Structure 1
Amino acid sequence: MNKVVLMGRLTKNPEIRYAEGENPVAVGRYTLAVNRRWKKEGEAEADFIPCIVFGKSATFAEKYFSKGQMIGIVGRMQVRNWTDKDGNKRRNIEVVVEEQHFAGSKNENQEPRREPAEDGFYPIDDIEDDDLPF
């Protein structure tokens, strides 16, 4: 079984590119800083896990995720081996993201949480139907 579940903070904004071909596919990349369970001399240590995401999930990540944000992902580990142009053997280990979720509260530098309107719903400003992820 190859299953990975991680929660961490994005080290920078997700980057997206499009694979070449007849039907280009969005390919997104980001790195998660995941805290280790044990602390060294009172300071938390983190692992920096490279992640790759495809298709609509990639465009979603680029649009809605940002540096410092806490997210949770579910995916699988992937190991890629290749030989570079100088003949050196190279290896890359990354998580192929199958699910991604918002996992934390808004950062202090973002707008404060709004109170619900009289009807119990929270207002959504400046979002059109095309911007919603569902």
Structure 2
Amino acid sequence: MTAQISAYGRLVADVQSRTTNNGNPMAFTRMAVTLPCQKAENGEATFWLAVTAFGRQAQSLAKHQKGDLVSVAGNMQVNQWTGNDGGTQTGYQVIADSVISARTARPGGKKGQQGQATDALRRAQEQQPPTQAYEDYDQSQAYDDQIPF
């Protein structure tokens, strides 16, 4: 039985890329996902998840590095093994069907300019006079379209 999972978190290791025996690209890494937890001091717990991707999703994952925020979705697997201390260890892995970058674009593509777009937008809004368009809108006509369903 397989379970579908969708997770959003931060990569905790650089992505390692390989090629399968069939010549298809493969990539894998690990990520940390923050979950709400009432028993934890700060109300959060960290869930550790291995991520493996093949084909186009592997190429997408390979563009990331340690510290990047990503969202992955796919089939989850539970793996168990015997640890060095002789105890049974459990790990979780997702075989990714989807890998989406959660990077934010910075103006000009340069680091350290995160606040400049917000500042420019604020300055532009301050220079424009407020409009009365919303206040003048007659809401009584908004839903008078006679749609028959």
Give the TM-score, by structure 1 length: 0.63
Q: State how far apart, in whole Å, the 1-side matches of 2:18 and 2:113 are.
A: 33
Q: State how far apart, in whole Å, the 1-side matches of 2:99 and 2:65 are.
A: 13
1:1-134 equivalent positions in 2, closer than 5 A:
2-20=3-21, 23-38=22-37, 40-42=40-42, 44-63=44-63, 65-79=64-78, 93-105=92-104, 110-113=111-114
Q: State how far apart, in whole Å, the 1-side matches of 2:44 and 2:105 are.
A: 21
* Conserved? CA contact 2:48–2:92, under 8 Å: no
* Conserved? CA contact 2:50–2:93, under 8 Å: yes
3-state DSSP class of the match of 1:112?
Answer: coil
- In structure 1, the gaps of 5 or more residues are 83-88, 116-134
Query: Percentage identity across aligned positions?
Result: 20
Partner AA of 2:56 in structure 1: K
Backbone CA RMSD of aligned residues: 3.2
| Aligned counterpart, 2:133 | none
Task: Name the count of aligned residue pairs.
Answer: 106
CA spacing shift, 1:45–1:93, aligned 2, 3 Å: closer
3-state DSSP class of the match of 2:58?
Answer: helix
Give the TM-score, by structure 2 length: 0.57
Q: State how far apart, in whole Å, the 1-side matches of 2:72 and 2:100 are.
A: 6
- In structure 2, the gaps of 5 or more residues are 82-87, 118-149
Q: State how far apart, in whole Å, the 1-side matches of 2:10 and 2:32 are.
A: 5
Q: State how far apart, in whole Å, the 2-side matches of 1:38 and 1:100 are.
A: 26
Q: State how far apart, in whole Å, the 2-side matches of 1:43 and 1:93 are.
A: 22
Higher RCO (Cα < 8 Å, 6 or more apart): 1
Q: Which has the larger radius of gyration?
A: 2
CA spacing shift, 1:37–1:15, aligned 2, 3 Å: same
Q: Give 1 or 2: higher helix fraction.
A: 2
Q: State how far apart, in whole Å, the 1-side matches of 2:7 and 2:72 are.
A: 5
